[in-house]
Amino acid sequence: MIARLRSIAASVAPQLIVLVVVIFVWWAAVRVLDPKPFIFPSPGRVLDTTVNDFDRLWIGFKNTLYASVVGFFFATAVGVGAALFLSLSRMLERAFFPWAVLLQTVPAVAVAPLYVLWWGPGRQSVMLVAFTITLFPILANSLAGLRSADAALVDLIRLRGRRRNSWFTFSKIRIPSSLPYLFTGLRISAGLAVIGAIVGEIVVGRGGDEAGLGYWVTFGSTQLRTDFVFAAIAVSSALGITFFLLVSAAGNRVLRHWHESARTAEA
């Protein structure tokens, strides 16, 4: 137990040191340059704002978390399902995968107004923006993983009378081989889900009980409350990092007994 705590402390210490240095440089720059608070606030002022406006930030945290998780969940379901479908045939992949690439290249800010037109302002549109941004990394990595199965094992299964695209082949070879790729896509999309939710809230979000962190960033900017904007950004960054770490921990737990990447991460 003690060795485990030491290992965790050793892995976290460098990040904490960098954070302390950044905050110190920030504080020193404000003391020396003395900018107007609405241009660049001090760390202490941001901390005070976080405490004083905790209720607003907490509401924003919950709403952004909800939109991120829902968008991430549906992107995972659709992305993995689409990857399984496209992996059945090279013809299917050539026909449909370029359209998935096209979906990735369309800016979320450009399609967000369409979501408002179709679904109205609020959570549904925000979740759709998060879904749109999150989908492609999961689909692309899952498909690459399904395509990376050992050809010799697939041929061996065929010699035993199983079809290349049979459920037995997928469950025993293709899906297990794709898991490292899948979790790579999930790690990427974990952060993108939060970014997508915040972008959606900035463009199509509404205030009140449905106000997310993106809405409060816009609110603080219009009110020249830069300290509040910094506080909302800090909370959203913490949310994104936590989401990423949770997905990474889940991936390491699933892969740790057989894949080198997870064993290396725990070493």
Question: Mind listing the pLDDT tens digit for each residue in 137-167?
Answer: 999 888 888 877 665 565 556 655 555 565 6
Phi–psi pair at 205, nearest 5 degrees: -70, 160
Please report the domains of the chain, with CATH numbers, ordered by start residue. Answer: 65-254 (1.10.3720.10)
pLDDT on residue 156: 54
- pLDDT range class, residue 15, cuts 50, 70, 90: confident
The answer to whether the pTM exceeds 0.75 is yes
C-alpha to C-alpha distance for 114 and 121, rounded to whole angstroms: 10
pLDDT on residue 131: 92
Q: Shortest CA distance to 68 belongs to which of 136, 129, 12, 146? A: 129
Q: Shortest CA distance to 169 belongs to which of 86, 94, 84, 252? A: 84
pLDDT on residue 228: 92
Torsion angle of alpha carbons 224, 22, 192, 206, nearest 10°?
-20
pLDDT in tens, 174-218: 777 778 888 898 999 998 999 989 988 888 767 677 788 888 998
Torsion angle of alpha carbons 15, 19, 21, 24, nearest 10°?
-170
In degrees, rounded to 5, the angle at the alpha carbon of residue 244 between the alpha carbons of residues 131 and 187 is: 65
State the burial class of residue 232 (Cβ atoms within 10 Å of its Cβ: 0-12, 13-18, 19+).
Answer: buried
pLDDT on residue 64: 92
Distances (CA, A) of 142 to 18, 81, 103, 228: 34, 9, 17, 39
